[in-house]
């Protein structure tokens, strides 16, 4: 059984990525996630993505990526009647997640303190760029803003090209993952003690926390992290290497792995060369070592070397494109994706990606396709329990 959160209802009031990705993780685990959207177009991600036709249909590729498994209702939280219907939903919910700027929900009269009157044990998760307090709390925040402020961009790229943005919204994604983790933990407390919680998730703090090693090297060793391109500061040879066909990541981080690597490329003498024999001196001479290794790797493709190195215990992997990795047997055989047929605005099946783990050998997959805006109004509101229906 992959439905670890079966019986849990989550209200998803979020937009674009961090919040929707958070709620998507909960939906994958079997929670009943109800997406509460504004009537004027709903989630902005419905209009975002590489397909103009899907954007026009309100089913943008960005929305499709993290909203499968959810149900959609449309409510205008500034309208009194809709506010009452929303409170009905809150009364039926175990958790709520929103990613408005701090204070927006409170100004609507729907903040945590107000909603606790309806559902005393509510788990309320607020995801924002900087958190609910502090001098930057009211600043607008997008992923790239957080990437720059967190230090990620300063260490991404080479000394010549940095600072560079990471190639996907990593700060948004980290905020979503941390939010889902925090909600799941708070739900345990809710079910064991009957207490709710207010979860204040800061994308900046999530990103800074994930920068564990670079931050620790500075705080404990006084070494300021620098951009190193595809090199790994902790070891050599460890990075991306050119081969006869394609790039190959090699992580010979242990001494025995380095010795094995030298033997496999026909350069056993490198293991005893004074420039490379020991770990620390090897790091100082990584540029010279890379030239010698790449010269040997030129005799075969990255795929051939990958298989040879891994078989001998030297970690290695090709540098793949997104289309290539989606076709890899490892990804296909572990059911990393699932398909839905007949979605509005699409003349082909929709494929979506699941979360990054399995449960008892089974892949948690969404059971519903991403919803059309307001698709489940009748279904959701006709199914509210008696306690919640008192205002209907």
Alpha-carbon gap, residue 260 to 237, rounded angstroms = 12
* HSE of 191, CA atoms in CB hemisphere, 13 A: 13
Contact assessment for residue 164 and residue 212, using Cβ atoms and an 8 Å cutoff: no
Residue 122 makes CB contacts below 8 A (sequence gap 6+) with 90, 93, 94, 95, 96, 112, 115, 116, 196
How far does the chain reach from its first CA to its final CA, in angstroms? 35
12, 32, 94, 172: the active-site residue = 172
Among 163, 22, 159, 1, which residue's Cα sits nearest to residue 95?
22
Instruction: Identify whether 163 is preceded by a cis peptide bond (ω within 30 of 0).
Output: yes
CA angle 356, 126, 40 (to 5 degrees): 95
What does the DSSP 8-state code read for residue 159?
T
Collapsing DSSP to helix, strand or coil, 338 comes out as strand
Alpha-carbon gap, residue 366 to 348, rounded angstroms = 18
Indicate if 172 belongs to the active site.
Answer: yes
Contact assessment for residue 124 and residue 21, using Cβ atoms and an 8 Å cutoff: no
Residues labelled catalytic: 172
């Amino acid at each position: 059984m992959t439905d670890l959160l079966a019986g849990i209802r989550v209200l998803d009031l979020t937009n674009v990525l961090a919040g929707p990705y958070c709620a998507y993780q909960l939906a994958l685990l079997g929670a009943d996630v109800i997406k509460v959207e504004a009537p004027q177009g709903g989630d902005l991600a419905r209009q975002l993505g590489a397909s103009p036709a899907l954007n026009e249909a309100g089913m943008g590729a960005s929305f499709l990526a993290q909203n499968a498994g959810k149900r959609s209702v449309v409510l205008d939280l500034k309208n009194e009647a809709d506010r009452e219907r929303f409170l009905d939903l809150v009364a039926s919910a175990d958790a709520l997640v929103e990613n408005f700027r701090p204070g927006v929900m409170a100004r609507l009269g729907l903040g945590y303190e107000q909603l606790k009157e309806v559902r005393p044990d509510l788990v309320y998760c607020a995801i924002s760029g900087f958190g609910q307090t502090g001098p930057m709390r009211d600043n607008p925040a997008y992923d790239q803003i957080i990437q720059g402020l967190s230090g990620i961009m300063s260490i991404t790229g080479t000394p010549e090209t940095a600072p560079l943005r990471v190639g996907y919204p990593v700060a948004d994604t980290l905020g979503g993952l941390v939010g889902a983790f925090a909600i799941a933990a708070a739900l345990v407390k809710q079910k064991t003690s009957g207490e709710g919680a207010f979860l204040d998730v800061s994308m900046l703090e999530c990103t800074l926390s994930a920068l564990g090693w670079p931050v620790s090297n500075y705080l404990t060793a006084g070494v300021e992290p620098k951009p190193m391109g595809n090199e790994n500061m902790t070891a050599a040879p460890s990075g991306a290497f050119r081969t006869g066909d394609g790039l190959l990541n090699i992580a010979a981080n242990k001494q025995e792995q380095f010795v094995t690597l030298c033997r496999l490329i026909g350069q056993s003498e490198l293991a005893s060369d004074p420039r490379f024999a020991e770990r620390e001196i090897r790091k100082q001479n990584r540029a010279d070592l890379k030239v010698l290794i790449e010269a040997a790797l030129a005799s075969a493709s990255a795929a051939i070397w990958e298989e040879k190195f891994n078989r001998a215990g030297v970690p290695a992997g090709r540098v793949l494109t997104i289309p290539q990795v989606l076709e890899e047997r490892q990804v296909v055989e572990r059911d990393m994706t699932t398909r839905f047929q007949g979605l509005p605005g699409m003349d082909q099946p929709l494929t979506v990606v699941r979360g990054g783990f399995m449960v008892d050998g089974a892949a948690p997959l969404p059971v519903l396709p991403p919803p059309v805006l307001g698709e489940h109004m009748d279904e959701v509101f006709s199914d509210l329990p008696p306690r919640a229906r008192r205002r209907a």
